Structure 1
Amino acid sequence: MKVLQRYVATEIVGAVFFVLVAFLALFAFFDLISELPEVGRGGYKLQHAFMYVALGLPGYVYELMPIAALIGTIYALAQLGARSEFTIMRASGLSTRMAGFMLAKVGVVFVLLTFLFGEFIAPASSQFAEKLKLQVQGSMISQEFRSGYWTKDVIRENGLTGDAIGSRFLNVHEVTPDGQLRGVTLYDFDRDFHLTGVVTAVHADYQGSNTWRLSDVSETAFSTGSPDITSTVKTAREPSRKLISEITPDILSVLFADPDRMSALDLSAYIKHLAENNQSTGRYEIAFWKKLVYPFAALVMMALALPFAYLHFRAGGVSLKIFIGIMIGVSFQLLNSLFSHLGLLNTWPALATALLPSASFLLLAIGALLWVERH
Structure 2
Amino acid sequence: MRVLQRYFSVEIIRAVLFVMLALLALFAFFDLMGELQSVNKGGYRLQHALLYVALGLPGYIYEFMPIAVLIGTIYVLAQFASNSEFTIMRAASMSTVMAGSMLAKIGLLFVVLTFVFGEFVAPMTTKLAEKVKLNAIGASLAQEFRTGLWTKDLVRDNGLKGSVVGSRFLNVKEILPNRQLVGVKVYEFDSRFNLSKEVTAEHAEYIGDNVWRLSNVTQTSFPKSLLMQDISTVASIKLASLDVASEITPDILSVLFVDPDRMSAYDLAAYTKHLSDNKQGTERYAIAFWKKVTYPFAILVMMALALPFAYLHARSGGISLKIFSGIMIGMVFYLMNSLFSHVGLLNTWPPLITALVPSMVFLFMAMTALWMVERR
1:171 matched to 2:171:
yes
What letter matches 2:347 in structure 1?
N
After the TM superposition, which residues 18-167 of structure 1 pair with which residues of structure 2 at under 5 Å, given as runs?
18-142=18-142, 144-167=144-167
Asked whether the equivalents of residues 142 and 173 of structure 2 are also in contact (C-alpha less than 8 Å), the reply is no
Corresponding residue SS for 1:47: helix
Question: Hey, what does 1:319 align to over in structure 2?
Answer: 320
What letter matches 2:158 in structure 1?
N
C-alpha separation in 1, matches of 2:105 and 2:317:
30
Residues 134-181 of structure 1: per-residue CA shift (max 9 Å, x gap): 001111113553110000000001010111000000000000111000
C-alpha separation in 1, matches of 2:226 and 2:53:
60
After the TM superposition, which residues 192-207 of structure 1 pair with which residues of structure 2 at under 5 Å, given as runs?
192-207=192-207
TM-score (norm 1): 0.98
Residues 175-211 of structure 1: per-residue CA shift (max 9 Å, x gap): 0111000000000000000001110000100000001
1:355 matched to 2:364:
no
Asked whether the equivalents of residues 143 and 256 of structure 1 are also in contact (C-alpha less than 8 Å), the reply is no
Asked whether the equivalents of residues 74 and 321 of structure 1 are also in contact (C-alpha less than 8 Å), the reply is yes
1:4 matched to 2:4:
yes
Residues 216-273 of structure 1: per-residue CA shift (max 9 Å, x gap): 0001110022567144311000011101100000000111111110000000000110
What letter matches 2:239 in structure 1?
E
Higher mean Cα deviation, 229-238 or 164-173? 229-238
Asked whether the equivalents of residues 100 and 304 of structure 2 are also in contact (C-alpha less than 8 Å), the reply is yes
C-alpha separation in 2, matches of 1:320 and 1:199:
66
Corresponding residue SS for 2:37: helix
Asked whether the equivalents of residues 79 and 318 of structure 1 are also in contact (C-alpha less than 8 Å), the reply is yes
C-alpha separation in 2, matches of 1:98 and 1:372:
15
Asked whether the equivalents of residues 149 and 172 of structure 2 are also in contact (C-alpha less than 8 Å), the reply is yes
Question: Hey, what does 1:208 align to over in structure 2?
Answer: 208
Corresponding residue SS for 2:153: strand
Question: Hey, what does 1:266 align to over in structure 2?
Answer: 267
CA RMSD of aligned residues (A): 1.1
Please list every run of 5 or more consecutive structure 1 residues that lacks an aligned counterpart in the other structure: none
Residues 339-367 of structure 1: per-residue CA shift (max 9 Å, x gap): 10111000000000000000110011011
C-alpha separation in 1, matches of 2:337 and 2:143:
27
Asked whether the equivalents of residues 140 and 177 of structure 1 are also in contact (C-alpha less than 8 Å), the reply is yes
Higher mean Cα deviation, 336-345 or 228-237? 228-237
Asked whether the equivalents of residues 223 and 231 of structure 1 are also in contact (C-alpha less than 8 Å), the reply is no
Residues 66-116 of structure 1: per-residue CA shift (max 9 Å, x gap): 000000000011111111111100000010000000000000001001100
C-alpha separation in 2, matches of 1:35 and 1:93:
55
Asked whether the equivalents of residues 81 and 314 of structure 2 are also in contact (C-alpha less than 8 Å), the reply is no
Question: Hey, what does 2:365 align to over in structure 1?
Answer: 364
Q: How many residues in Structure 1 have an aligned counterpart in Structure 2?
A: 375
Please list every run of 5 or more consecutive structure 2 residues that lacks an aligned counterpart in the other structure: none
How far residue 11 of structure 1 moved from its aligned partner, in angstroms, is 0.6
C-alpha separation in 2, matches of 1:315 and 1:292:
37
C-alpha separation in 2, matches of 1:286 and 1:76:
34
Shift in alpha-carbon separation, 1:26–1:202, aligned structure 2, 3 A = same
C-alpha separation in 2, matches of 1:176 and 1:143:
10
TM-score (norm 2): 0.98
What letter matches 2:30 in structure 1?
F
Q: Which ranges of 4 or more aligned residues in structure 1 deviate by more than 3 Å?
A: none
Question: Hey, what does 2:188 align to over in structure 1?
Answer: 188
Corresponding residue SS for 2:162: strand
C-alpha separation in 2, matches of 1:114 and 1:142:
32
C-alpha separation in 2, matches of 1:316 and 1:302:
20
C-alpha separation in 1, matches of 2:139 and 2:236:
34
C-alpha separation in 1, matches of 2:297 and 2:157:
44
